[in-house]
Structure 1
């Protein structure tokens, strides 16, 4: 080599070494985040798996581990104990209950604009609206009695005399054509079709005023205070994941779901996604303008008032501590919704 070129070569070598060791390189490291769901992997969690599978979380600087729940797991307790960073809560009633019991968690996004709770009927009963259910025998779970059924009593005058225990076995419903059974719009109608060979009537409670949010993202107050940027990135990436899952190529996410839960067949996953789209479970109402995950003060107040009237929650709790709008309503991902 020409000796005159040595200084330049050394300079280039030193610059490359500096770049390799610089903080900019360190910035490519992803923040490790753990997210616990409230049930085994299923299509109703699909957007979160999508954000892992298609690299959306990574694009937001996150290395996310999804920890599935189940009948013997309590991921919310792990969140409270600091073992998880985020948790998927079932509905707004859980948020109100956290305030009532001084649990230091806050809802930062509502992925489902509509609670998927339904009552299913036999075609022979010719039920077309919620009020038509009053004369029927109603199979309702213990949790349902203490929540949405109290709303049915206070808002629509339903009677507990017509209620029978629902044990997640459809046989009593199938044996009684003048009955209705609780379920989720994304799963139980499919199960009835497969086992009994008929399409049940579907009454979605959200379409009659049961305006709870569902599939909420919760985190601890201390994480919001100490790392708001991390919370924002997790919310935004999760929202993007849900757009991709509903409207894009979701095969990789579904493969992850099937691996964790073999009972989720391709047919059931496709059914669940179709129902989420058809009924606007994820993307409807305020989310059409403000993006998936949207929440509003007015709707929180409305649902709180209904639950107070139904005597499900105490009137003296400060429900506004249950959530924050700081991380939502920014229109993230709305440009990815199909235009047609």
Structure 2
């Protein structure tokens, strides 16, 4: 990534009289852009589109930042890199963040990427509700056992006997017509489409799953030392998302440059699903603006985690987030 600079203002003087010497006005040197390392939670994709759009269209540069967008991946421990000083901001996960607060890890969410969580269960078209899946096989990732699976057990009576490893390429799901597979509305249904398989997708959020998607997280040390940077960074990021949803071309070009394996079909599918479920502008965002978070929503996530023994009741859960920065941003949905 090249280092950007703030635009330089030139000061022009009128023509000098031959008899009167004009004073020399020197332009002040441009101030170097502030470097900020932003680590994604996966390889470049449409689900990160607003951030790539902010980079590609110069929104970050205009706000005074040289943002390095770093790709994530399955082998990266984002929290470890954040607390080790290798990243300034990361895309995190609500439940992981609250568990970290229980362990006194010094980090805090500063905004939410999406209001509607993209996670859910992919089923055959005839399955219209989670309740209909009771007793059937549900293929899930290992991380699901300590996130959404306890919620499904509590709310819909699922049992551990129903859960099975998701497997590579969703082969287990395609081989079992009565089953369901956990995943993201922007991803797994696309793989099914590639196989000409008709599927339905049940979003957890539509049945009370409380978490946000991809909250932006910084260490408490970074927030203390760079408090003045957070609002302009968040504003540029949310303006990037608004711009991306209107015309994603610049962001998509950068996504494909960063991740050559990402194809137009996947990007278009993901973006269409994000628009369909209004993941950016649903809920509180309609009144509070893109990226907003509320204490009430975080409380619901905390209460769920305590109820299913994923979080100790005495954990100071309010330390997991702060709304002081995003509350003043107010980038409203179109």
Alignment correspondent of 1:266: 264
Report the count of equivalent residues: 319
Instruction: State the alpha-carbon separation in 2 of the partners of residues 306 and 38 from structure 1.
Output: 24
In structure 2, the CA distance between the partners of 1:4 and 1:327, relative to structure 1 (3 Å rule), is: closer
Alignment correspondent of 1:66: 69
Cα deviation for residue 73 of structure 1 reads 2.4
**Deviations 1:222-273 (CA, angstroms, capped at 9, x unpaired):** 2211221111111111111111111x22112111111222221111101101
Q: Report the TM-score when normalising by structure 2.
A: 0.91
Instruction: State the alpha-carbon separation in 1 of the partners of residues 289 and 168 from structure 2.
Output: 34
Instruction: State the alpha-carbon separation in 2 of the partners of residues 56 and 286 from structure 1.
Output: 24
- Which stretch of the first structure deviates more once superposed, 75-84 or 224-233? 75-84
In structure 2, the CA distance between the partners of 1:331 and 1:33, relative to structure 1 (3 Å rule), is: closer
Alignment correspondent of 1:235: 234
Given candidates 289, 292, 310, the residue that maps to 1:294 is 292
Alignment correspondent of 1:111: 113
Alignment correspondent of 2:3: none
Q: Report the TM-score when normalising by structure 1.
A: 0.90
2:113 aligned counterpart, secondary structure = strand
Alignment correspondent of 1:187: 187
Q: Which has the higher helix share?
A: 1
Matched ranges for 1:115-134 at <5 A: 115-123=117-125, 126-134=126-134
Q: Where in structure 1 are there 5+ consecutive unaligned residues?
A: none
Instruction: State the alpha-carbon separation in 1 of the partners of residues 154 and 124 from structure 2.
Output: 25
Cα deviation for residue 168 of structure 1 reads 3.9
Cα deviation for residue 198 of structure 1 reads 2.1
Alignment correspondent of 1:307: 305
- Is residue 163 from structure 1 mapped to residue 176 from structure 2 by the alignment? no
In structure 2, the CA distance between the partners of 1:86 and 1:4, relative to structure 1 (3 Å rule), is: closer
Instruction: State the alpha-carbon separation in 1 of the partners of residues 312 and 54 from structure 2.
Output: 37
Runs of 4+ in structure 1 off by over 6 angstroms are none
* Kept after mapping to 2: 8 A contact 1:223/1:231: no
Given candidates 94, 97, 105, the residue that maps to 2:96 is 94
- Is residue 77 from structure 1 mapped to residue 80 from structure 2 by the alignment? yes
